Structure 1
Amino acid sequence: METLKSCPACGEKKMTRVLQAKDYTVSKNTFDIVRCASCNLLFTNPRPEAEQAGYFYKSENYISHSNTQKGLVNKLYHAVRNITLKQKTHLIQGCQQGSKNLLDVGCGNGHFLHACQQSGWNTYGMELDPDTAARAAALTQQSIYPNLEAIPNDITFELISLWHVLEHVYELDAYFKFFKNRVAPNGKLLLALPNSNSYDATYFKEFWAAYDVPRHIYHFNPETIQSVAKKHGFKLKTQRGQIFDSFYIALLSHEYKTGKKKLLSSFLIGLLSNVLAFFKTGNYSSNIYIFEHA
């Protein structure tokens, strides 16, 4: 484990512990989440060293790296995937004029890349986990890069997307430097992230499944991700919610809290979170942010 002495976003040394959350997926250990006194970023501290992080992903219950449909949450996740893929490809149509380059960082099993291929994009994928990358390569019939450094330097992208990836990234500044250099002048950077300001996060507190410690090392909200992006030369173009996330996050969170699925209660909490976000706060369980060069 490593203990950060300063905020990974702004360098502030003063931080305060706000809660302790449990890893229900792999280790069953408890981890501290702290808040930076300057920029208010929440982050896991201490956290696993980067070289040891892979251990915490080795579970069939880790949905984005697994094709398993065991268990109710996995079944629900895969049931709505086709719907969300259509929503995602529709969302990014505005970034595409003709055949354009798209890079999906942390492409997982490759389903989004495959959908974008079918929509006419020139697609590129990057995935750190070799087994997951192999599944993406088999689905897309193209090579998947193992890291950012392997991506050819002469390619720029009309869209770089990270679907629930940035919260895992240890080299935050290095990733944003890459985005700054490789997003085309009129291109976009899309970040989908859990939102620690959502109603369901407030309701479930330390049991909120989207804290997902220690795999999630940052816990962004709209203000903190915009602050990080601004530091690296990006401005927010648009923001919207991922409405399905609140339902399965509530389902998992109830199970973590009570040991029971509580289908009706989970649905109601997820619905309330979406309603409050739509009519009042904008704080969905997960938000999609589309940035452009400032």
Structure 2
Amino acid sequence: MTIPAERIGTEANSTCYACGKQGEVLYRGLTDRLFGAPGGWTLRKCTDAECGLIWLDPRPAVDEIGKAYRNYYTHGHTNHARQSRWARIVRAILHTTSIYLLGLRRERRRYKRVYLDKTSPGRLLEVGCGNGKRLARMRALGWDVMGQEIDPVAAEHVRNVKGIPLHLGPLETIQSGEYDVVLLSHVIEHVHDPVAMLMTCRRLLKHNGLLVVLTPNAASYGHSKFGAAWRGLEPPRHLHLFTSQTLNQLALKAGFSDPRCWTTPIGAYGIGQSSPPLAEAAIGQQSITIRDVIRGFRFQVAASLVFLFNKNSGEECVLMASKKTTPP
């Protein structure tokens, strides 16, 4: 069941969050092709070539942003990612083939473990944990996991179906922390004040604790190829889109030490599959066809080849940063 769209109140947002410079219009009139949130949306890009931040202007106001999630995938609506039996079979074959042929097995394994494969299990908090799938995987690897969500529907699923403890409410309302790892997977692009969120994450970490952030890469090969149809844009839920350089800068502003940021092409298959030409995509239509699956395979191959020569072209940025404190 799809909940009827309700107009989303907005606020102006013409200057770059990261450096304060003016932005130039990159795309106009974008619509939510994924979950049918109402409105037409404009994206700006920072005029400073050293920054590269992309953002919504105007953007949903803080007290209105929830309307953009009425039909979101964490609410279990049946129109998300529907695909025929043959599309599932072809995708399983082609995706597995691409991983093996392109030598991505190790990268895929590391990605599934959110790059904690060489870190001893401890206490892990996932911010904006969605349906809890990732937390369940990390729990199976020996981590003591905890989720945080502001969406009560998603929270109920994590607690009752996954059996994972969860804090329902804004991240800043978690009073005690001492986590070894705080994870944000495709969350930071959804928030109005990314540095404030990173500062809260730092507060919740132990000394020498680790922050892990995954987010779409505004400088990816997919963005250059698909343009306004790139899956990573996702208006109006993605308020900011970052580059590796900008993420590093924000981590430093939030007080983290020695941030390291790189990109990965491992998700290119899904990006290619979910970035159909604008003329072919109906708003709210989530059906995956064999043509989509084949486009995903072809894009995974192309993106992996580009990545060999341009390590900043991956579809996602990965940020890791430590909390260093001075002993008393």
TM bin (shorter chain): 0.7 to 0.9
Q: 1:17 aligns with which of 1, 7, 25?
A: 25
Which residue of the partner structure matches residue 108 of structure 1?
130
Which residue of the partner structure matches residue 322 of structure 2?
292
Q: 2:41 aligns with which of 5, 11, 31?
A: 31
The alpha carbon displacement at 1:5 in A equals 4.4
Query: Contact 1:242–1:288 at 8 Å: present in 2 too?
Result: no
Query: Contact 1:95–1:187 at 8 Å: present in 2 too?
Result: no
Distance 1:239 1:191 in 2: 11
Query: Contact 1:190–1:289 at 8 Å: present in 2 too?
Result: yes
The CA deviation string for residues 236-289 of structure 1, in whole angstroms up to 9 with x for no partner, is: 23535151x212222221154434844433321232112212443332112322
Query: Contact 1:22–1:213 at 8 Å: present in 2 too?
Result: yes
Q: In the alignment, does 2:65 pair up with 1:49?
A: no
Comparing 274-283 with 213-222, which one deviates more in the overlay?
A: 274-283
Q: 1:280 aligns with which of 307, 310, 323?
A: 310
The CA deviation string for residues 88-137 of structure 1, in whole angstroms up to 9 with x for no partner, is: 2373132325xx21000010111111122222222111011100111011
Comparing 222-231 with 101-110, which one deviates more in the overlay?
A: 222-231
| CA distance 1:269–1:256, change in 2 (3 Å) | same
| CA distance 1:86–1:137, change in 2 (3 Å) | farther
| CA distance 1:185–1:75, change in 2 (3 Å) | farther
The alpha carbon displacement at 1:168 in A equals 0.3
The alpha carbon displacement at 1:9 in A equals 2.7
Which residue of the partner structure matches residue 202 of structure 1?
224
Query: Contact 1:236–1:289 at 8 Å: present in 2 too?
Result: yes
Which residue of the partner structure matches residue 152 of structure 1?
175
Query: Contact 1:85–1:115 at 8 Å: present in 2 too?
Result: no
Q: In the alignment, does 2:152 pair up with 1:130?
A: yes
Which residue of the partner structure matches residue 89 of structure 1?
113
Which residue of the partner structure matches residue 269 of structure 1?
299
| CA distance 1:263–1:93, change in 2 (3 Å) | closer
TM-align CA RMSD = 2.9
Query: Contact 2:53–2:240 at 8 Å: present in 1 too?
Result: yes
Q: In the alignment, does 2:260 pair up with 1:237?
A: yes
| CA distance 1:257–1:28, change in 2 (3 Å) | farther
| CA distance 1:263–1:124, change in 2 (3 Å) | closer
Query: Contact 1:106–1:128 at 8 Å: present in 2 too?
Result: yes
Give the counterpart letter for 1:213 in structure 2: P
Structure 1 unmatched runs, 5+ = none
Distance 1:70 1:276 in 2: 27
Query: Contact 1:107–1:127 at 8 Å: present in 2 too?
Result: yes
The structure that is helix-richer by fraction is: 1
Distance 1:66 1:288 in 2: 27
| CA distance 1:148–1:70, change in 2 (3 Å) | closer
Comparing 278-287 with 195-204, which one deviates more in the overlay?
A: 278-287
Give the counterpart letter for 2:271 in structure 1: I
Which structure has the higher relative contact order (CA within 8 Å, separation 6+)? 2
- The structure number with the bigger radius of gyration is 2
Q: 2:143 aligns with which of 110, 121, 136?
A: 121
Secondary structure of 2:249's match? Answer: helix
Distance 1:70 1:248 in 2: 11
The CA deviation string for residues 157-210 of structure 1, in whole angstroms up to 9 with x for no partner, is: 111111111100123232121122222222211111111211111011111121
Distance 1:173 1:288 in 2: 16
Structure 2 unmatched runs, 5+ = 1-9, 96-104, 282-288
TM-score by length of 1: 0.85
**Identity across the alignment (%):** 24
Give the counterpart letter for 1:2 in structure 2: E
The alpha carbon displacement at 1:293 in A equals 3.6
Aligned residues between the structures: 284
